[in-house]
A and B are shown apart, each in its own frame.
Chain A
């Protein structure tokens, strides 16, 4: 079988190839071919990794001297999610990116867009595969730096500011993370996660707590753990919509799962109860803030904070069903939120406005876009029989099964959040289908989604549409993933 190292090597190589070739057409072809190839291989790796995790030996140096890499059920599952999402978003980017921002040297910027997009994918693949805490930092930085650049892609004032703000917070986070890595190395004399876990378990409690607090501070910024997520609404709402979809769809989730996995296994659960409380606060703050937003993408970004906190809450319950539920929610959110952001990208292109009020009646002019938006929004709220209902139900079940105060508090918070979600998402959908002579007459909106964008959004919507009926087959994947999540 082909080595899973291709997941990192291919996008990395293709990114540099694209810059060398320098033409827009070549960039598109190389990018889509690379990601499509990985998306085809990913299911094969996943089924192989579920029965037997891959151990990857780099340059023939065996552990403990070599750099530890591995592909287990969790990393293979995420590799599949990243590859498929990346493929669909690339398809969407073909018609969309020429609309994003007006500035000099647009043609060359588009080539660089595809190169940086592939770098982002390489960083995300590396982040889920690495078993070495310093490599974790390196891939984290690859992921972060490429997302700073992509957020600022349109070079509009708000995008530049959001990119800068994101970058400042991200750099503070990575400084904390490096200190945590240094402390772990000082204690264990190794950078492999397994060795650090052993050393920290034997160390004084305060030392492990210090390391894990610094690590959560560092990694939590990217994973949008409340209250470290102030950059998120700006970055996700000012980025090109294809990038918002990627950032909300899998980038925060990848960071979150790595954070949870390390907290559970390496830092011996020192921060779990704190994370559970932060998660509940994050759900409330995210959803309440989304309620008051006038801009569509800002509301969606705040809703991402709420949703990600919901996953974090499920993970911190500690039970296997909790992790299982969290992963299910993660999969649903990747489909629904990506579709919402991608559709809102074309709402912005057609009306030239970010405000929800400007989209009044747009659902009638863009029937496919409106329908996709409505389905994804309903799934996010948790309307049966869409996927979101089942994943949210499972989180509530897991919370009830925990029989703890925080579990019951979680149920109350999640149900309350669902009410808030339904208020603002239904309001948006109603605005889309509301009667408005002005939009109808102005003619600003012309045409529905272009073909490639239509296919991409339909792919994501298909997931939330049939996900509910495919729960048994998803569970065959999610259950081993949940079991592996509790190991390094």
Chain B
């Protein structure tokens, strides 16, 4: 039987590769940004999967739980990757916001969001 984490790992890799493909091939700048977000999503799923434990519980000790503290600790989910993902999501949000602002300014100047119509630099 395929384990949950194997499915998640492969999903994340597929998303990263799809996103990378999109960034490299799309001509529309908005689509480039969407592809970047798909890639970020893949990375975030990868990070969350690292902390995944089968039948894991939330990493909170309960004093009135039927289990002893040691038993409670035995299959707690690692909270650290989740904290990392929260940070990564916030950073990804910031980057997307900046990217869309740049696209907006480019659109105001040129009336286009297509890479092929931009002439300022050699791409």
| Chain B residue nearest to A182 in the complex (CB) | B47
Contact partners of A171 in chain B: CB under 8 A = 36, 39-40, 95, 99
Determine whether B43 belongs to the interface, using a CB cutoff of 8 Å to chain A.
yes
Residues A157 and B91 in contact in the complex (CB < 8 Å), given A149-B98, A164-B29: no
Residues A155 and B105 in contact in the complex (CB < 8 Å), given A145-B94, A164-B99: yes
Of the candidate stretches B55-63, B66-74, B115-123, the one touching chain A is B115-123
- CB of B47 within 8 A of CB of A178, answer yes
- CB of A191 within 8 A of CB of B80, answer yes
| Chain B residue nearest to A151 in the complex (CB) | B102
Question: Given the complex of chains A and B, what is the CA–CA distance between A172 and B40 in angstroms?
Answer: 9
Question: Given the complex of chains A and B, what is the CA–CA distance between A186 and B19 in angstroms?
Answer: 23
| Residue among A138, A168, A179, A185 making CB contact with B16, cutoff 8 Å | A179
Contact partners of B11 in chain A: CB under 8 A = none
Residues A182 and B50 in contact in the complex (CB < 8 Å), given A145-B95, A152-B102: yes
- CB of B20 within 8 A of CB of A172, answer yes
| Residue among A148, A163, A168 making CB contact with B32, cutoff 8 Å | A168
Contact partners of A161 in chain B: CB under 8 A = 106, 118, 120-121
- CB of B98 within 8 A of CB of A182, answer no
Interface size class of B (residues with CB under 8 A): 35 or more
Determine whether A167 belongs to the interface, using a CB cutoff of 8 Å to chain B.
yes
Question: Given the complex of chains A and B, what is the CA–CA distance between A148 and B101 in angstroms?
Answer: 11
- CB of A179 within 8 A of CB of B43, answer yes
Binary contact track B14-52/A, C-beta < 8 Å → 1, others 0: 001001100100000100100010011011001100100
Determine whether A267 belongs to the interface, using a CB cutoff of 8 Å to chain B.
no
Interface size on A, residues (CB 8 A): 32
Determine whether A212 belongs to the interface, using a CB cutoff of 8 Å to chain B.
no
Residues A182 and B121 in contact in the complex (CB < 8 Å), given A168-B23, A172-B20: no
| Residue among A148, A157, A174 making CB contact with B120, cutoff 8 Å | A157
| Residue among B20, B43, B102 making CB contact with A167, cutoff 8 Å | B102
- CB of B98 within 8 A of CB of A148, answer yes
| Chain B residue nearest to A138 in the complex (CB) | B87
A-B contact count (CB 8 A): 94
Contact partners of B91 in chain A: CB under 8 A = 138, 141, 145, 174
Question: Given the complex of chains A and B, what is the CA–CA distance between A172 and B91 in angstroms?
Answer: 13
- CB of B50 within 8 A of CB of A168, answer no
| Chain A residue nearest to B83 in the complex (CB) | A134
For A149, A161, A238, which residue has the most chain B Cβ atoms within 10 angstroms? A161
Determine whether A162 belongs to the interface, using a CB cutoff of 8 Å to chain B.
yes
Chain A residues numbered 152-207 whose CB sits less than 8 Å from any CB in chain B: 152, 155-158, 160-165, 167-168, 171-172, 174-175, 178-179, 181-182, 185-186, 191
Question: Given the complex of chains A and B, what is the CA–CA distance between A267 and B110 in angstroms?
Answer: 46
| Chain B residue nearest to A187 in the complex (CB) | B50
Contact partners of A448 in chain B: CB under 8 A = none
Question: Given the complex of chains A and B, what is the CA–CA distance between A263 and B58 in angstroms?
Answer: 36
| Residue among A134, A162, A167, A185 making CB contact with B99, cutoff 8 Å | A167
Contact partners of A163 in chain B: CB under 8 A = 102
Contact partners of A182 in chain B: CB under 8 A = 43, 46-47, 50, 81, 84
- CB of A160 within 8 A of CB of B16, answer no
Residues A164 and B88 in contact in the complex (CB < 8 Å), given A172-B20, A175-B40, A178-B47: no
Determine whether B54 belongs to the interface, using a CB cutoff of 8 Å to chain A.
no
- CB of A167 within 8 A of CB of B95, answer yes
Contact partners of A158 in chain B: CB under 8 A = 120-121
| Residue among B23, B95, B110, B123 making CB contact with A157, cutoff 8 Å | B110
Determine whether B8 belongs to the interface, using a CB cutoff of 8 Å to chain A.
no
Determine whether A222 belongs to the interface, using a CB cutoff of 8 Å to chain B.
no
Question: Given the complex of chains A and B, what is the CA–CA distance between A181 and B38 in angstroms?
Answer: 19
Determine whether B103 belongs to the interface, using a CB cutoff of 8 Å to chain A.
yes
- CB of B106 within 8 A of CB of A157, answer yes
Question: Given the complex of chains A and B, what is the CA–CA distance between A158 and B118 in angstroms?
Answer: 9
Determine whether A234 belongs to the interface, using a CB cutoff of 8 Å to chain B.
yes
Q: How far is the CB of A217 from chain B (nearest CB, A)?
A: 11
Question: Given the complex of chains A and B, what is the CA–CA distance between A165 and B103 in angstroms?
Answer: 11
Shortest Cβ-Cβ A-B pairs, 3 listed: A158-B120, A157-B120, A161-B120
Known A168-B99, A175-B43; further 16 A-B contacts with Cβ < 8 A: A138-B87, A138-B91, A145-B94, A148-B98, A156-B120, A158-B120, A160-B120, A163-B102, A164-B103, A168-B23, A175-B19, A178-B46, A182-B43, A182-B84, A185-B50, A186-B50
Contacts A/B (CB < 8 Å), 19 sampled: A145-B91, A145-B94, A148-B102, A156-B120, A158-B120, A160-B102, A160-B106, A160-B109, A162-B121, A163-B102, A165-B123, A168-B36, A171-B40, A172-B23, A172-B39, A175-B19, A175-B39, A182-B47, A182-B84
Q: Which A residues lie at the B interface, using CB under 8 A? A: 134, 138, 141, 145, 148-149, 152, 155-158, 160-165, 167-168, 171-172, 174-175, 178-179, 181-182, 185-186, 191, 234, 238
